[in-house]
Structure 1
Amino acid sequence: MTSAPSRHTARGPLSRMPTWANRNFQLLVSASFISGLGNSGATIAAAYAVIDDGGSATDVGVVAAARTLAMVVFLLIGGAVADRIPRQRVMVAANGLNALSQGLFALTVLTGHPQLWQMAALTAAGGTAQAFFSPASQGLVMTTVDPAHAGKAFSVFRLATNGANIGGAALGGALIAAVGPGWVLAVDAVGFVVAGALRALMSVEEAARAETGGIVRDLREGWREFVSRSWLWGIVVQFSIVNAMTTAGEAVYGPLVARDHLGGAGPWGLALAAGGAGTVAGGLLMMRWRPRRILLTGTLGVFPLALPLVALALALPLWALVLTMLASGVAIEVFGVGWMLALHQEIPEDKMSRVSAYDWLGSIAVMPLGLALAGPAAAAFGRTESLWGSAVLVVALTAAVLVLPDVRRLERANTVPDSGGDDAGHGQAAPLQPAVPLSPQ
């Protein structure tokens, strides 16, 4: 548990935020916006750094898989560490490692022809940082605001980060076309430095945690919490495949389809920005809409994730791809809100980071394999056929998870809304990151 946050609202760039948004919350939102702005463009830049150096679809997949593989290796350790020491410190250190890895990645690209192993190793360093950052970040929003404002705080936080995704993807694609991917990676490195500094300025007090029998025992306790809930492990298993398919589409197939049919990095950045715009629209929707069956509603929102894969398979014109990305962005935000509320409603706070680590681990475990096999699958079966297969898997697994009774029945907990104007009607359990690893650092 944390101490009650101050209700003082700081003056500054975000001083127009609601009265419940204190200085810590403003710093948190600012840090996430800055790092998200750079990171969205850098995701595209990494793919085009490989492509511009003559890399194949398999090479693009290997570099993308290196980051996720590092996350898989270190996530459980990251979750145990974040339940032992102040999470804010873990996050600042992770931002520092990301700044270093992205800076070196930019340097190798700008100074010559980087080797594939160099790009993969530096991407893996960023994945290691993410493995410690992600479990630590769970619940941080709720250390900065009163729990009665959880729903509104989460919505504002997501709107800021998703807004950064829109601007970062569009700006990143344009900059890659204008000056090359190296400079976009350099900007991302600077963004992590600034974000880490802002997070270091936060005054977050965390209660001392009781000593346990060691990391292994901690992880066993987290595992028991995880497997005791069918809705939790069922959706995580679902997303282990869904994330692998959608990430392969965006990280490997998307840039190649854009190169062959849409005009390159600029149009692809616009398509990704449309997905970000959809998440903003979804966030605005979820600020007003309070579905009772939070997981049922959220899971129904996963079906549209297949639409961009279908659009890429058909090599539809840019406007059609943009519409499918927009729709998928709205849909995943509907899922994200329901997932966050369910986790914070059902999982004990002192086990949150460990359960989060299992959530993230399960959600991304298959991604390295999916990314690494995307190129070989396209060579063996054809890029179009591989995209169709990915879309079918997304739909089939989402339908399958609806068989679980708890997914269909879990309801939003009864809460007492606060009487203030900003959040009237929006008091609810504190939210957590969704299984979909979308949020930037």
Structure 2
Amino acid sequence: MPTIPPHPGPPYPRRFAWASRNFRIQTAATVISGLGNAGAPIATAFAVLDDGGSTTEVGYVTAARLLPTVLLLVLGGALADRMPRHRIMVAANLFSGASQAVLAALVLAGHAQLWHLLLLSAAGGAGYALYSPASGGMIMQAVPEEHAARAFSVFRMGQNASQIGGAALGGALTAAFGPGWVLALDALCFLIAAGLRFFLEPETAPAPSGGGMLRDLREGWREFAARRWLWVVVLQFSVLVACIGAVESVYGPAVAKERLGGAGAWGVAMAAYGVGLVVTGLLMARWRPRRLLLVGNWGVFLFGVPALALAAAVPLPLLIAAMFLSGAGVTVFGVNWMVALRQEIPAEMFSRVAAYDELGSYSLAPIGTALAGPAAVALGLSGALWTCAVACLVLSAAVLLDPQVRRLSRRSTTDAPEPAAEPVPTS
């Protein structure tokens, strides 16, 4: 797989020689936009609840953001493999910042109605669908393959550190001043990130085929479908993401408002999740497990721990511990998954394959969040949480039945100067 050499820049300590200019800019911009993004879901949920809305309406608003993401991700992936990725990211950030600014103004003025929240949340989802495949392709090509695990760990640590600060700040600001100011902060962070990404240099990536958009999409699908380990994990995540989205966006805020003290408590819990992400990132920067997906999936078992804690009505300190463990699991899986994609997917196909990955992973999320409220009515809040927790645990075990998931191995070129030693098993 072709790799892009680091861009020459000012001297850095030898241990950071792999960090190209694009890598540094993209990481900084991701941290800044992440500060706002981490608090925005908390603010949006409490904008609905504080106005007398129900958990069902919170689910509808979350689904309104996810639906355009699902519908437009593949288009975003095809565009990112045909156009300069930095320009797509800048345009998407500006669009998302504008939509959040309008929503913030409506909430602060006390004029936000449910249809405003639905429409502007959908606009944010559309912006993410265009941004995400371009971002993935950019960060993959910003570092050489032999330093992939270290780079992705550092990138995710920065990304996850912003989750800590953003969730804590978002919860505190929502509790102290109301959700409007948190949405305004999110809009500002998007605009700053767009300004930083304006200075990204175009990658010297292989040119896409001249066969048109539909041909590009078909090629990306063939690349995706040819790897069973890839689509098996994506099928797993289609249900996992729906369950986790319902817990974090609907059930968690509802439980916090009911018995934990409100937005501030939920913000602290989400911050603990971010601490788990970051602390484990330090481990993953050095740990290079051989079986990438086998080890990564052990982290997936921790995804359902917050749902278990909320269902069991544990006190806030135990919920904080559960959120920490969940964050640790996300990093263990996420870094190994990024290394696997960087190792196995050709550079010229990456954004399209990544778009199919996200499309499948998020495909059921709008349905899951839209049905979260009715499920809580039908099963009770505790019953709905138990259902999510059991689904996460069962799926985590089921995916290990696939031999490609168990056997896909790190090649010796990854994070090491030696040549590749063995092929990836195909069965």
What is the deviation of 1:3?
5.2
Give the corresponding residue for 1:91.
89
Give the corresponding residue for 2:425.
none
- The TM-score, its normalising length taken from structure 2, stands at 0.94
Counterpart check, 1:328 vs 2:326 = yes
What is the deviation of 1:210?
3.9
What is the deviation of 1:153?
1.6
| Cα distance in 2 between the residues matched to 1:109 and 1:261 | 25
For residue 5 of structure 1, what is the amino acid of its counterpart?
P
The answer as to whether partners of 1:143 and 1:204 remain within 8 angstroms in 2 is no
Q: Deviations over 1:318-347 (max 9, x none)?
A: 100000000111111111111111111111
For residue 383 of structure 2, what is the amino acid of its counterpart?
E
% identity of equivalent residues = 54
Counterpart check, 1:239 vs 2:237 = yes
Give the corresponding residue for 1:374.
372
Between 338-347 and 116-125, report the one with greater CA deviation: 338-347
Q: Which runs of 4+ in 1 moved over 6 A?
A: none
For residue 202 of structure 1, what is the amino acid of its counterpart?
L
Give the corresponding residue for 2:8.
7
The answer as to whether partners of 1:7 and 1:21 remain within 8 angstroms in 2 is no
What does residue range 179-198 of structure 1 map to in structure 2 within 5 Å?
A: 179-198=177-196
Give the corresponding residue for 1:311.
309
What is the deviation of 1:43?
1.5
The answer as to whether partners of 2:4 and 2:143 remain within 8 angstroms in 1 is no
What is the deviation of 1:141?
2.0
What is the deviation of 1:4?
2.9
Distance 1:336 1:210, change over 3 A: closer
For residue 252 of structure 2, what is the amino acid of its counterpart?
G
Q: Deviations over 1:124-171 (max 9, x none)?
A: 000001111111111322433333322222111111110000000001
Distance 1:149 1:87, change over 3 A: same
SS of match in other structure, 2:256:
helix
For residue 183 of structure 1, what is the amino acid of its counterpart?
W
Counterpart check, 1:280 vs 2:278 = yes
Instruction: Give 2:289's match in structure 1, choosing from 246, 267, 291.
Output: 291
| Cα distance in 1 between the residues matched to 2:30 and 2:15 | 16
What is the deviation of 1:31?
0.5
SS of match in other structure, 2:19:
coil
Q: Unmatched 5+ residue regions in structure 1?
A: 420-424, 429-441
- The TM-score, its normalising length taken from structure 1, stands at 0.91
Q: Deviations over 1:292-326 (max 9, x none)?
A: 11100111111111110011112211100000000
Q: Unmatched 5+ residue regions in structure 2?
A: 422-427
SS of match in other structure, 2:111:
coil
What does residue range 62-81 of structure 1 map to in structure 2 within 5 Å?
A: 62-81=60-79
Instruction: Give 1:116's match in structure 2, choosing from 94, 114, 117.
Output: 114
Counterpart check, 1:38 vs 2:36 = yes
| Cα distance in 2 between the residues matched to 1:113 and 1:10 | 52
SS of match in other structure, 2:82:
coil
| Cα distance in 2 between the residues matched to 1:290 and 1:408 | 16
Q: Deviations over 1:401-426 (max 9, x none)?
A: 1110100111101117568xxxxx9x
For residue 6 of structure 1, what is the amino acid of its counterpart?
H
For residue 299 of structure 1, what is the amino acid of its counterpart?
N
Give the corresponding residue for 2:338.
340
Give the corresponding residue for 1:59.
57
For residue 117 of structure 1, what is the amino acid of its counterpart?
W
Between 190-199 and 153-162, report the one with greater CA deviation: 153-162
Give the corresponding residue for 1:302.
300
For residue 382 of structure 2, what is the amino acid of its counterpart?
T
| Cα distance in 2 between the residues matched to 1:253 and 1:180 | 20
Distance 1:175 1:81, change over 3 A: same
Matched positions, count? 419
| Cα distance in 1 between the residues matched to 2:205 and 2:101 | 35
| Cα distance in 1 between the residues matched to 2:3 and 2:85 | 12
For residue 368 of structure 1, what is the amino acid of its counterpart?
P
What does residue range 354-373 of structure 1 map to in structure 2 within 5 Å?
A: 354-373=352-371
SS of match in other structure, 1:275:
helix
The answer as to whether partners of 2:291 and 2:406 remain within 8 angstroms in 1 is yes
